[in-house]
Amino acid sequence: MTASLAQHSGTDVAAIRQRFEQVRATSIRITRGLSPEDHMLQSMPDASPAKWHLAHTTWFFETFILQPYAAGYIPFDSRFKYLFNSYYKQLGSHPYRGSRGLLARPSLDQIHAYRAHVDAAVQAFLEHAGPEVFDLLELGLNHEQQHQELILTDVKHGLWSGPLRPDLLDRVDTNPPASPLSWMEIDGGIHRIGHAGNGFAFDNESPQHDVLLQLSRLASRPVTNSEYLEFMHDDGYRRPELWLSDGWDAVYTQGWSAPLYWERQEDDSWQQFAFHGTSQVGMKPVNLAEPVCHISYFEADAYARWRGARLPSEQEWETAAVRMPSHGSFLDDEIFHPQPGRGAGSQQIFGDVWEWTASPYTAYPGFQPAPGVVGEYNGKFMCNQMVLRGGSCVTPSSHIRATYRNFFPPHARWQFSGIRLAK
């Protein structure tokens, strides 16, 4: 990791204190409408209960900052070191990821008390912290922002998996038309990729390096529901020539025929599950102008091939995002659903939907994991995953940047992921 907080003054400490309070408060705000039972949902091994996310992000500050650096700190509960470790093998064992929904104890009230205990200890310690602690604190805050996004993706899948499919937000959608699709040219030649070292970044965004790109074009906006329906109506899910081998297997073993959360109605129209639906149920008609969402890499790749295009490489995507940044909706807007783009030119490069790239998640030339336990954060996952770029409608706006590299296995669909084409 790199960070911008290594040099700090009294004024900086006040700003860091405020940022710490804001990030920690956001996690509580986005879970306030959930019942204790909702906090326990774990609908699949890839998802985690909201209660676990609230505890694990707190565990991070206790484990990496308070216990090694704050003299005299007393842990809230010694059992939590094991219970809420995610995957840090150097710290010892941890519960199986798929069993996190079995943690009925500790209670949600105890988890909130745990958060309050650690928050107070961090705030008291800030006046005495050194540069290395401020670096870890910034990592912890960005880690929590990642889990805020995961709370919303995991809760959505959990609520959809139940029979009632409740509506958690009282909101009425608008239905502006989608903007016409145009193409943005990406110059061929040598381009500089990766984080420049100013401000926070995860270690997988470095080091900066040169890449050679061919002249190419990037779509001005993400693919819409209307455009994806054309693929579906043309038997896109039943044409093996469009699919990678593993993708074709997934279509048949998983029974895919539409994006995740879509359901065909008796009149052949489509509805989708969202955080805001109709009639107190989280189902609503598919808005044709919205970016298509909850798409796997396999589906994105098949659609691109059907359209006579392809997915961009992450190097092409970053080159375009640096030159032509544009913003859509983020977690801060509290819409929690991708919105139609507006206006001309590039749209929604940041926000609304994560955009699959054609790039496997591998290390940049010269990459070195951070020393110590935090080195397990990113590097050991550089296998069998594909890179996504740009953030989504459940990504905090202060968390995203052009160099940010998200990664998921190619079959994953519960993330707010969509498609931007390249040629």
- Kind and range of the H or E run holding 406: strand 406-408
Is the pLDDT at 289 greater than 70? The verdict is: yes
d(CA 236, CA 248): 11
Give me the pLDDT at residue 101, please. Answer: 92
d(CA 119, CA 114): 8
Calculate mean pLDDT across residues 366-373: 85
Q: Among residues 177, 207, 202, 179, which one has the least CA distance to residue 192? A: 207
Give me the pLDDT at residue 119, please. Answer: 98
Q: How far is CA 252 from the centre of its chain?
A: 27
d(CA 255, CA 263): 13
Percent of the chain topping pLDDT 90: 79
Is the pLDDT at 379 greater than 90? The verdict is: no
d(CA 391, CA 328): 10
Give me the pLDDT at residue 9, please. Answer: 47
In DSSP notation, 332-359 reads GGT--S-----SSSS--SBSSSEEEEEE
The burial class, CB within 10 Å (0-12 / 13-18 / 19+), for 190 is exposed
Tokens of 222: 């993400």
Q: Among residues 178, 282, 164, which one has the least CA distance to residue 230? A: 178
d(CA 64, CA 373): 9
Contacts (Cβ under 8 Å, ≥6 apart) of 68: none
Question: How sure is the predictor about 244, in pLDDT bands with cuts at 50, 70 and 90?
Answer: very high
Give me the pLDDT at residue 214, please. Answer: 96
Give me the pLDDT at residue 278, please. Answer: 54
d(CA 270, CA 299): 18
Give me the pLDDT at residue 169, please. Answer: 66
Give me the pLDDT at residue 4, please. Answer: 41
Tokens of 227: 């455009």
pLDDT in tens, 316-340: 999 999 998 999 999 999 999 999 9
Is the pLDDT at 89 greater than 90? The verdict is: no
Higher pLDDT, 6 or 22: 22
Give me the pLDDT at residue 228, please. Answer: 98
Question: How sure is the predictor about 215, in pLDDT bands with cuts at 50, 70 and 90?
Answer: very high
Give me the pLDDT at residue 152, please. Answer: 96
d(CA 204, CA 138): 16
Tokens of 16: 């860091």
Give me the pLDDT at residue 175, please. Answer: 64
> Cβ(392)–Cβ(149) under 8 Å?
yes
Percent of the chain topping pLDDT 70: 94
Collapsed DSSP state (helix, strand, coil) of residue 164:
coil
Question: How sure is the predictor about 376, in pLDDT bands with cuts at 50, 70 and 90?
Answer: confident
Give me the pLDDT at residue 177, please. Answer: 78
Give me the pLDDT at residue 5, please. Answer: 41
Give me the pLDDT at residue 174, please. Answer: 59
Tokens of 400: 């995203």
Q: Among residues 128, 117, 104, 1, which one has the least CA distance to residue 59? A: 117
> Cβ(191)–Cβ(78) under 8 Å?
no
Question: How sure is the predictor about 373, in pLDDT bands with cuts at 50, 70 and 90?
Answer: confident
Give me the pLDDT at residue 121, please. Answer: 97
**Mean pLDDT of the residues in the chain:** 91
Name the least confident of 79-83, 156-160, 212-216, 280-284. Answer: 280-284
pLDDT in tens, 25-79: 999 999 999 999 999 999 999 999 999 999 999 999 999 999 999 999 999 999 9
Amino acid identity for residue 151 in this structure: I
Q: Percentages helix, strand, coil for the chain, rounded to the nearest 5?
A: 40, 15, 45
pLDDT in tens, 248-282: 999 999 999 999 999 999 999 999 999 875 555 67
Return the bridge partners of 155, or none: none
For 386, phi and psi rounded to 5 degrees? -115, 150
Is the pLDDT at 6 greater than 70? The verdict is: no
> Cβ(151)–Cβ(30) under 8 Å?
yes
Return the bridge partners of 278, or none: 281
The residue to which tokens 């693919």 are assigned: 223
Give me the pLDDT at residue 372, please. Answer: 79
